[in-house]
Structures are given as C-alpha cells and as structure tokens.
A and B are shown apart, each in its own frame.
Chain A
Amino acid sequence: MRFKINIKDLIFGVAIILILISIYLAFIYTPTHTTMGDVQRIFYFHVASAWLSYLAFGVTFVTGIFYLKSKDFKWDKIAFASAEIGIVFCTLAITTGPLWGKAVWGAFWRWEDLKLFITLVLWLIFIAYLALRANAKSKVSKANLSAVFGIIGFICVPLSFAANRIWQQYHPTVIATSEGSLQSSMGMALGISVIAFTFLYIYLLISKVEIDTMREIIEEIKQKVGG
C-alpha cells in the first residue's frame, strides 16, 4: 500500500513537470502560426484533452471486455473510473474546439468537421454509459450491462466516423488544413503535452479507483456496524 501511494505521487509529479514544460513550449518555444496567429496555441492542449478522452474511453472498452471474460469487479471499477475521466476531458475538448473554431473559421461549431462531430458522438455515448450505470438495479447487472454498452458504443465510433464521411461529401465544404502547416517544433510541443496528459490520466485513474474502492469498504463496514 505504501509503495503504491509513492508511485501515484511520482506519476502526479511527472505529470505536473511535463505540463509545465509543455506550457513553456506552447507559449514561448513554438513560433506563432503563420495563418492562424497566436490563437493556434489552443491547439496543444485541445488536442491533448481529446487524446486523453479517446484513451480513457478505449480503456473503458478494453476493461469492459476483461470484465465480461473474468467477471472480476476490479475491471468494472477501472472501466467506470476511466469513463468518468474520459467524460471530463471530452467536455474540455468539445468546449475548447469551438473557441478555436470561432477564431479560425468565424463560427463556433462546424457540423461538417468530422473530428468535432465524432468527439461529440463519443461524448453522447459515454454520457449515456454513465446514465446507464446510475439507473442499474444491482451491482452485478450494473457491471454486466455497462460493459456490454461500453463495448457496443466504442465499436460504433469508427463506423460512425466512416458513415459521416459520406454524409459530408454530400455537403462539400472547405476542410481546414491545420496540420498542413505544422512545423516540427509545434509537433514536439504537441507530443510533450500529449505525454503530459497521459501521465495526468494515469494519476487520475489510480486516484479514482482508490476512492471508489475505499468508498465500497466504508459502506460495507457501515452496514456491519449498523446491523
């Protein structure tokens, strides 16, 4: 237990340091974007948040499969924690996306932009996932049903991505080429911020799982003491 806490704090420390480095890189080290100006600097943490939410939902998907195979509640706990963290960062990604969009395109939201669209779909699916868990009647059915739903939801995302591509050909628009003029220093800044957020994710996941485990144990003791 002692050792585990140390690892958790270590990860938190690494995450903080990496975040500070990436803030430095994002604001000072990288040059101002030639066409989009300074506002392009939103990009580094916007993309990192989006990445973190994809990673988190992916973990929910994989641990859902592990749970169904093993019926071990440990996996269910991780799946739930990861989904919640995913929702938080997905929310950050879909609020910062429009802010950037407004500056670059002049509009907050472009329904034609696939990345925005898919991130929104993911957000809806995992909001529904959390609603499912909140409405489950027992611990067993909560774990079973949410694992199944998480798997279905995650599988459908690439399919939805593909389906919406044809829908967009139907309404042709100019695709913003943000990556088109990405310089190598910008790429590195992005890379560092993505790594920083990945460490942040691991820290949050461990904390959340620990809290949920502790809450469960306390509930159990309370029932014993009360009865």
Chain B
Amino acid sequence: MYGKGLLKGLWITFKHSFEKKDLVVRYPEQMPHLQERFRGSLAFDFEKCIACGICIRNCPNNVLSMETAKDEDSKKKKLMQYTIDLQYCMFCNLCVEDCPTNSLYFTHDFELSQFHRDDIKRVYHRPPELDQQEAAQKTSDQDTQTAADDKKEKQLRAMINAINKNPQKVLARVLDGEEQVEVLAAVLMADEKKLARMAEMMITDKEKAKKVALAFVKKELKEREKGGDQ
C-alpha cells in the first residue's frame, strides 16, 4: 500500500514520545559518568617535576611554559614556576604521555569556563616548603646514601673473594649440574668483568643470575665444540 512506510514512521515516533527518557543526564544536578581516561583539565604536580622540558617541546600549541633557575651548589636546574595556558590546549595528551615522572596528568574536572581570560591560565609557583624539604633531604640523603654504598661495596668484594676461593661451592648455588659449574667457573676465572657482574647479580637477583649463568655456559660449550672440531 502506498504510504505504509509513512504510517510506520509516525507510529515509531509516537511510541518514542511516551518512552522513559533515561538517556539524558540532567547535568548540573547530576554529574555525568566519566570514563577513566576522560581528559578534563590538565593538572601539574610540582613535587614530581624534574624540569626536563620534554612536555614543553612536545606541546603543539605552546600551551606549556616554565621558568627555571640554576641551583648554586648542585648545579641542577631548579623549577621556579610552571604555567598551563589552558585556553590553547587541545587535550592531545602528548605532554602527559612523555612526562618521565608523571607530573602532568588529566583530571576529570571539565567545567573550564571562566569569566576572565586570565583565569583560564593556570600558574604553579614553587611552593616554599619544597625548598625546605629539599634542603633537609639533601643532608640526610647524603648520609644514608654513602652508608648504603659502603655496605654494597663490601658485600660485592666478599662475594668475589668467595668465588675466587671456592668456585665449585659458591657457584653451585646458581647452577645444578657439576659439569656446568665447572665450565662456569672456568669462564669466570678467565674474565674479571664477568666475574664482577656475576657476583653482583648473585647478591641482588638470584633468578637473573641463574639465567645469565646458563647463557654463559651454553656459549662456552659451543665454542669448545667448535674448537674440538677444528
């Protein structure tokens, strides 16, 4: 029949107009459900920033800028002020992606309109407590670090000595087969660097040491076979 489709369309819209309208979020009263990776506004964590400037170089719209000063004693760049001019931001995520310390991130705050243009700009000044904190940390840091370094050094030397003295016994901790242990010992004796590395690994990470040791053994055995053939 002519016009059947028209009636069908009318019936569909008629039905729709009496359906429950729960697709709509009544926004100011009812906040919308935002997805986890939603890019609302760009925020900055001053404490994490190392003033590397990757974000500024990455930004296509020159949204970001910072002011740095040289620290007298450590000759390190020190961040004084960080500015996000959000009106030019296109939320491309390039700064956030490349920040090595995750000091830039997107928040879910999407209500960005302001009455004045200057209010759109976000300026982060160096918080004074950061300087104090840093000064305090510097002194305590140096102490703990030197102590830790000393301890590590001692352990390493002790391990190398132990391997030198009694390779069979010490290396059995890493490898199982007697033959393999013998091969490994031979390799390590021949190369001082490999020995040091092995020792360090045995202190810090035994699993890794095992893998590396196996690799060493395999390589050595192969070379030996080749030599035998010749």
Chains A and B form a bound pair: no
